[in-house]
Amino acid sequence: MTYCVAINLNAGAVFCSDSRTNAGVDNISTYSKMRAFGIEGERQFVVLSAGNLATTQGVIAQLEKDIRTAAQVNLYSLSTLTDAADYIGSINVAVQHRHAAQGNAAMFEASFIFGGQIGDQPPEVHLVYPQGNHITTSSDTPYLQIGESKYGKPILDRILTPDSDLDTAAVCALVSMDSTMRSNLTVGPPIEVLIYRRDSLLVERRYKFSAGSEYLREISKRWDAALKDSFNAMPPITWGDGNGGKSG
């Protein structure tokens, strides 16, 4: 599986992805699931991918080819993020259909998180489904996830608001990733983080943390210790507090 999360903030956007792919437990590989596209000063995009690796590679290859051949519709010609998400959705559906007759259609499914900024339009983040449609973030839900999303959701729900700063959101994404890796073997390093500052129209900060990364280990160790300390400070279970209490 995969775990990717992207966060859309007033200050910009943060993208985070793992790099483990597997086709059965005895066929595990490492592939980056983060691809950045852009023209400095004009537009910047980030694509995170989950699902069938042949599909996600096929989609990314098509996006790159369309840019290279200056196809009429490509990431550098479209005028809004929403149009670009539609375009990625239609490529996603097309790539899946190409092989659909050779197996169960669900086998070939892929999802993408697509975000970035074009000119002076506000930054946007979209989740593109296997069916080609897409949703975006809101002020109540400033993040989107693909892949193994449940383990790492509680910390995002507790911490993130649209006013969170970029560094806070990046650390939150890493803690969310750490919880996921701890409970699910199919998500693993290297972990990539890209921090996009609103209106910068360039990628200033992109990190890649390998399995041996001191920073990743420090986050993991400190978060584990902090949770254990927090847990040890919880009030002991009590009898009849008016609403709770012994029932049988």
Judged by the rule CB under 8 A, the positions of this chain that interact with a second copy are 36, 148, 150-151, 153-155, 157-159, 167, 170-172, 174-175, 179, 182-183, 192-193, 195, 203, 205-210, 212-216, 218-219, 222-224, 226-231, 233-239, 241-248
Taking the complex as a whole, the smallest distance from the CB of residue 46 to a second copy amounts, in Å, to 11
* One-letter amino acid for residue 65 of the chain: K
Rounded CA-CA distance 140/156 in Å is 12
Nearer to a second copy, 135 or 225 (CB): 225
Q: Which residues of 223-248 are buried (b: 16+ CB within 10 A; e: fewer)?
A: beeeeeeeeeeeeeeeeeeeeeeeee
Nearer to a second copy, 99 or 205 (CB): 205
SS3 247: coil
Rounded CA-CA distance 94/127 in Å is 17
Taking the complex as a whole, the smallest distance from the CB of residue 68 to a second copy amounts, in Å, to 19
Tokens of 77: 């010609």
SS3 170: helix
Taking the complex as a whole, the smallest distance from the CB of residue 173 to a second copy amounts, in Å, to 10
Nearer to a second copy, 84 or 203 (CB): 203
Taking the complex as a whole, the smallest distance from the CB of residue 67 to a second copy amounts, in Å, to 17
Nearer to a second copy, 119 or 244 (CB): 244
* One-letter amino acid for residue 203 of the chain: V
SS3 98: helix
Taking the complex as a whole, the smallest distance from the CB of residue 216 to a second copy amounts, in Å, to 7
Taking the complex as a whole, the smallest distance from the CB of residue 194 to a second copy amounts, in Å, to 8
Place of tokens 């069938």: 52
Nearer to a second copy, 79 or 183 (CB): 183
Rounded CA-CA distance 201/120 in Å is 9
CB-based contacts of 193: which residues, under 8 Å, 6+ apart? Answer: 14, 15, 16, 170, 173, 174, 205, 206, 207, 209
Nearer to a second copy, 72 or 238 (CB): 238
